[in-house]
Amino acid sequence: MIDDAAADAAASGAVGGVLDPEHPQGTFVLEPGVMAPLVARIATSEGSGMHRSMCPFTGAPLVTFPVSSAEDVAASAVRARVAQRTWARVPIRERAGVLQRLGRIVLERQSEALDLIQLETGKTRRAAFEEVGDIAQVARHYAVRGERYLASRRVRGIVPLLAGVQVHRRPVGVVGAISPWNYPLVLALSEALPALLAGNAVLLKPDPQTTLTALWAAEALDDAGLPAGLFQVVAGGPDVGEALIDQVDHIAFTGSTATGRKVAARAGERLIGATLELGGKNALYVTDDVDVDTAVPGIVRACFSNAGQLCVSTERLVVHEAVAEEFVAKFVRAVRNLHLSPALDYSAEVGSLTSAAQLDKVTAHVDDALARGARVLAGGVHRADVGPYFYAPTVLDDVPAQAVVMREETFGPVVTITRVDCDEEAVAVMNDSEYGLHAAVWSRDTARARRVAVRVETGSVGINDGYTMSWGSVSAPQGGWKASGLGGRHGSASISGVTRQQTVVTSRGARFGATLDNLYGLGGETPSRVITTALEAMRRLRMS
């Protein structure tokens, strides 16, 4: 628990609740020297207001910090534009060097990052380490492959040999990122790193609950050698996010579909690009030939990692009836044995929900399902004995289709079971959703699983894997279909979103008078006849 001195100091506006290494179960001591430099990085002016965040493990105050105003956001954008003009002229390999150093720093300083992530989100240390590992991987990927993604490319011109065409990528300028609370390090940097590599500046507005982790990321980038002004953090709520959209040249938003629609609408009014990763109601299909004992541990992780507060986690289990009895029995047994704990070490398997609002939502979804006739096979209770926002990992069966938990994203440790009798029915059930973010198929027959996967209407599908392999394959795009988003992150998709394309065409025949302008200058039908003959020849030769 937070000691009284830390709680009193936080309530009075001081900052600095951090883990005391002598008390690994969660006692905090006040260390202003640690927190004050982080909070000082917030782009803010006097009188903009204050925000107090809470520790999910205890419900007690964690830190109070100043928030930014619309004027602060505008001033930050001005600084960013000045810095970006110089940064865009820095050779790509030098920009890549910053990312390489960042990856090393994140791994070297992982202990302090893990502490902050846990204190702000309530997640287990295992789930927190996913963030550290992911950012190290993403930083390395773009440092190594970024130059190739940004390289100019040659394409065929209108007249072979006489027209030289090059397509270049140029940074858009200032990229805005609005990140949620559930993965505060990953979602603060996964959009920012490719944007910075491409020559942009970045303005980040994290969720107020996880602002400290975002500020830690800013400090790490500074230590990696990123010039001042290129990565700034503006703090606050929706009003700060709205102000941010009005100042940037591309907006990357991760959050709910409802808010994503508003972000897209404002971006459309300004004619700027938008990358949106939104909600999901992800399904996982267990086929009749699955090796149950092998599958259960991975499927448990797919459903309950980060207490289900993960955009690509599984919320709907679709199980072939031929294996349902065995699978459900072993799955439920494993879920009941999961260890819930607020410990700031690697002993916990399931952590806390991050806020009272999340607890209320999860409880409402479960209560609605039970009122409609669903059965609880595991969980279904608020574990206040562990911490204020802990909820037992929950498995629901016999859930009617009209239940809220079957249609809306729960974003908590709750999974439903639906039985099917064939692959065809499984695909229909998986696609029966307004969302299309992620899915998974578990089968011994990977060829069969791939045939199912390509029929599922989602941006990514894992085979014999919940989400780790697909999310971690950072060369491949990750994004949603339907109401789950627009655009994508990872690989070249992230670079495409934060760059503009420019086509430069050179007429090589000018010195010989062989340009199309000269041809048209002949007058009469001659140009038409010559072009018709050329086009017909190109058609016969199947020239593109």
Q: Which residues pair with 54 in a beta bridge?
A: 61
Question: How far is Cα 220 from Cα 97, in angstroms, rounded to an integer?
Answer: 14
Q: Is 106 helix (H, G, I), strand (E, B) or coil?
A: helix
Q: Which of 130, 131, 191, 277 is catalytic?
A: 277
Cβ density class 94-129: b for 16+ within 10 Å, e for less: ebbebbbbbbebbeeebeebbbbbbbbbbbbbbbbb
Whose CA is closest to 137, among 177, 185, 172?
185
Q: Are 392 and 378 in contact (CB under 8 A)?
A: yes
Q: Are 432 and 389 in contact (CB under 8 A)?
A: no
CA 385 to chain CA centroid, Å, is: 32
Q: Are 232 and 203 in contact (CB under 8 A)?
A: yes
Q: Is 410 helix (H, G, I), strand (E, B) or coil?
A: coil
277 is catalytic: yes
Q: Which residues pair with 176 in a beta bridge?
A: 203, 251
Q: What is the 3-state secondary structure (H, E, C) of 55-83?
A: CCCCCCEEEEEECCCHHHHHHHHHHHHHH
Backbone φ and ψ for 485, nearest 5 degrees, come out as 140, 180
C-alpha pair distances (Å), 60 with each of 7, 19, 50, 113, 123: 7, 14, 17, 20, 16
CA 222 to chain CA centroid, Å, is: 22
Q: Are 187 and 254 in contact (CB under 8 A)?
A: yes
Backbone φ and ψ for 127, nearest 5 degrees, come out as -65, -35
Paired sense of beta strands 282-286 and 314-320, if any:
parallel
Q: Which residues pair with 53 in a beta bridge?
A: 63
**Which tokens in the block code for residue 176?**
């805005």
Q: Which residues pair with 292 in a beta bridge?
A: none
Question: How far is Cα 105 from Cα 442, in angstroms, rounded to an integer?
Answer: 37
Residues written for the chain: 544
Q: Are 73 and 203 in contact (CB under 8 A)?
A: yes
**Which tokens in the block code for residue 313?**
């986690």
**Which tokens in the block code for residue 102?**
């960042």
Q: Which residues are catalytic?
A: 277
